[in-house]
Amino acid sequence: MNDATSDYMHGHVISDRSGNVYMLDASDTGLGILKMAPSGTVSGFSRIRDARWATGMAATPDGGILIGGSDGDTDQLYRVDRDGKATSVDTPEFHHPNPIGARPDGSMVVLDGKTLWSLKGTRKTRLHTLPQEPPNGSITVDATGTVYAEKGASLKDLLVLAPGHSPRTVSPRGSIPGTNSPVSSLSAITMSPASGGGLYAKAVRDTNKGPSGHAYVVHVRASGATTVLARGTMNKENLSCKSGRQYPSLNVPCAMPWFVVQSGQRVLVMGSVTGAGTHHIPAFALRTDTKKE
């Protein structure tokens, strides 16, 4: 998947309740959506020809997708049904709509600037206004409808907004393996929901070290309990990992892909935001976190 057209990286790779994975692929012929079945088979799912890039997408309860897209002048929402048919949604009151996820009542959570909205049909309701727009990719909604958003430059102040409850802040607990640094010092690059609650994130530290720094995959629960599932490098040129080989999850010797998403009993780390013509980074497959709190 290549996408060098959008500054906002939430939801460019998502999964649905059946374990299908959807990937955005922008090109001169419109916004393409690829679908990967749980078996690993990839096929073209849909194409929105009047959109040139996307702010993000989220799976809908009826098996479709809601996408925030733009033709270069106007941002709007598109609905894609389970058969891949795309239609625009009349949402004149949104400025830069970014679908984040679904709630159990069938509504969709949409981020517009700093404000979180609930969208059901064409009716929208304000949920919460954040202190600032979340950093790229650092917001998601889990299966319970709980919103998680990184409020600052790290996971230290993680906003948790559950349906019917007031917003609260959680700081992930635990230390980064092999260091004395807390997990809360990591900064999320991308987030996605964990089926059992909470979120999976690709997160980084040592950003001042550039390519010599590390990237991690973490599972953060609503309570703040955290498990570090994998560690790789931030060096995009390190392509030493080979497809089909196994590596120690906490000592992966090559570059960590960009997006993290759960598909069934696997957590997939895959995709990039590089332009066409660059090297592709192999995807990682990890076991889901089954540890009890």
Q: pLDDT tens for residues 222-265?
A: 999 999 999 998 876 666 788 888 999 999 888 888 899 999 99
Q: With bands split at pLDDT 50, 70 and 90, how would you rate the model's confidence at 207? A: low
Kindly state whether residues 249 and 144 are assigned to the same domain. yes
| CATH number for 122 | 2.120.10.30
HEC assignment per residue over 158-225 = EEEECCCCCCEEECCCCECCCCCCEHHHCEEEEEEECCCCCEEEEEEECHHHHHHCEEEEEEECCCCC
Kindly state whether residues 211 and 237 are assigned to the same domain. yes
Segment 43-70 mean pLDDT: 89
- Count of domains in the chain? 2
Kindly state whether residues 215 and 88 are assigned to the same domain. no
Kindly state whether residues 87 and 145 are assigned to the same domain. no
Residue with tokens 């849909």: 46
Q: Which of 84, 100, 129 is where one domain is finished?
A: 129
Kindly state whether residues 149 and 12 are assigned to the same domain. no
pLDDT per position as a tens digit, 90-106: 766 888 899 999 999 99
Asked whether the whole model's pTM tops 0.85, one would answer yes
Put the strands of the sheet holding 108-112 in their side by side order.
97-102, 108-112, 115-120, 123-129
> What per-residue confidence (pLDDT) applies to 16?
93
Kindly state whether residues 63 and 157 are assigned to the same domain. no
- For 80-116, letters b (16+ CB in 10 Å) and e give beeeeebeebebeebeebbbbbbbeeebbbbbbeebb
* Parent domain of 7: 1-129
Kindly state whether residues 142 and 277 are assigned to the same domain. yes
CB 127 within 8 A of CB 116: yes
Kindly state whether residues 12 and 34 are assigned to the same domain. yes
